[in-house]
């Protein structure tokens, strides 16, 4: 057995195991977010867990077995469609959703600090739907020639490269860089606003206001953590293409780390949301209602 075959088989086994664990974490978080109130933030988190699960399923059911058993599964056309979905459609869906999450945090921190507009849920659903329509098109490249789809570059399976699919790869890289730059710029604005607010309103804000601010800070750090996981993944991919001398090396480093990213993303969501439950939300809302009624009783004049 050659060295490249041993590495490929070990990589495939790693993918199957890591994808299984990551899938369990993301399914758990999907179930958790589904039970919570359907705010814009939680709807975006649900969308993120769905894209993570779909990615991990491709790793678990196709990419992992192809490498672990060192044998192709299906046709080259199936190979190209699955890689287009995994490496182009879904890999863009993650940063797009992350950008929408950051936009949501920016609006909450800068504009809608004390209240949530009624139309926010409708706008969020529309934005999520639009992002998934775009993801489906990128995954299939409907209307473009078949040679524009990029197959998995597995030496033991066989793959083809054309000018069209190389161009698609560059467009994907430009898209990810643009989304990353936009998201990080908005994170800087959010951090500046949270810092200024913590200094100016520390003593003047009400208990409900302070609780909302703490939640905003928590969700901000969750968003930043997920962003930096994506940045590390992108940097890892660039480094592998720069320093690796063989396609087996590139595949091992890029996909070996990439399969870990989606489980880590789900784990970050778990760490920042594990203490949030439906019961706690109901208790907080009932306390705030009682507080408002009490204040209304105090300030309302007695009619003669």
Mean model confidence pLDDT for the chain: 83
The answer as to whether 273 is a domain residue is yes
State which residues form the domain around 213: 3-278
Q: What is the pLDDT of residue 49?
A: 95
Residue 300 lies in a domain: no
Q: How far apart are CA 70 and CA 66, in angstroms?
A: 6
In the block, residue with structure tokens 């044998």: 71
- CATH number, domain containing residue 28: 1.20.1070.10
Please report whether residue 230 resides in a domain. yes
CB 36 within 8 A of CB 281: yes
Nearest to 18 by CA among 233, 253, 264: 264
The total domain count for the chain is 1
Q: Are 65 and 78 in contact (CB under 8 A)?
A: no
Task: Report yes or no on 284 lying in a domain.
Answer: no
- In angstroms, the CA 75 to CA 60 distance is 18
151 belongs to a structural domain: yes
304 lies in some domain: no
Q: Above 90 in pLDDT, residue 20?
A: yes
The answer to whether 42 touches 33, Cβ cutoff 8 Å, is yes
Indicate if the pLDDT at residue 84 is higher than 60: yes
Place of tokens 């560059």: 170
Instruction: Output the six-digit token pair for 294.
Output: 């009490």
For residue 271, being part of any structural domain is answered with yes
The model's pLDDT over 221-255, given as tens digits with 9 standing for 90+, comes to 888 888 888 888 888 888 888 898 888 899 899 99
> What does the pLDDT look like over 63-82, one tens digit per residue?
999 999 999 898 889 999 99
More confident residue, 290 or 56: 56
Residue 53 in domain: yes
Tell me which of 29 and 153 has the higher pLDDT.
Answer: 29
């Amino acid at each position: 057995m050659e060295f490249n075959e041993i590495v490929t088989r070990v990589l495939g086994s790693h993918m199957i195991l890591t994808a299984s664990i990551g899938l369990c974490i993301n399914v758990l978080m999907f179930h958790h977010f589904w039970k919570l109130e359907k705010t814009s933030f939680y709807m975006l988190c649900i969308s993120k867990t769905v894209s993570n699960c779909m990615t991990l399923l491709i790793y678990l059911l196709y990419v992992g077995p192809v490498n672990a058993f060192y044998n192709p599964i299906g046709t080259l056309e199936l190979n190209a469609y699955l890689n287009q979905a995994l490496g182009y459609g879904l890999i863009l869906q993650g940063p797009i959703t992350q950008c929408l999450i950051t936009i949501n945090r920016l609006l909450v921190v800068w504009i809608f600090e004390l209240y949530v507009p009624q139309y926010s849920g409708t706008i969020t659903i529309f934005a999520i739907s639009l992002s998934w329509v775009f993801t489906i098109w990128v995954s299939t490249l409907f209307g473009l020639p078949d040679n524009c789809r990029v197959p998995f570059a597995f030496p033991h399976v066989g793959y083809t490269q054309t000018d069209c699919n190389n161009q698609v790869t560059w467009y994907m890289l430009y898209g990810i860089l643009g989304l990353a730059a936009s998201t990080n710029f908005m994170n800087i604005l959010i951090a500046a606003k949270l810092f200024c607010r913590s200094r100016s309103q520390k003593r003047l804000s009400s208990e409900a206001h302070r609780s909302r601010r703490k939640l905003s800070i928590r969700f901000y750090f969750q968003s930043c953590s997920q962003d930096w996981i994506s940045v590390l993944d992108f940097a890892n991919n660039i480094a592998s293409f720069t320093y690796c001398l063989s396609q087996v090396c590139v595949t091992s480093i890029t996909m070996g780390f990439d399969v870990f990213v989606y489980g880590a993303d789900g784990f970050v969501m778990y760490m920042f949301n594990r203490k949030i439950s439906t019961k706690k939300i109901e208790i907080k809302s009932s306390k705030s209602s009682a507080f408002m009624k009490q204040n209304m009783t105090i300030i309302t004049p007695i009619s003669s």
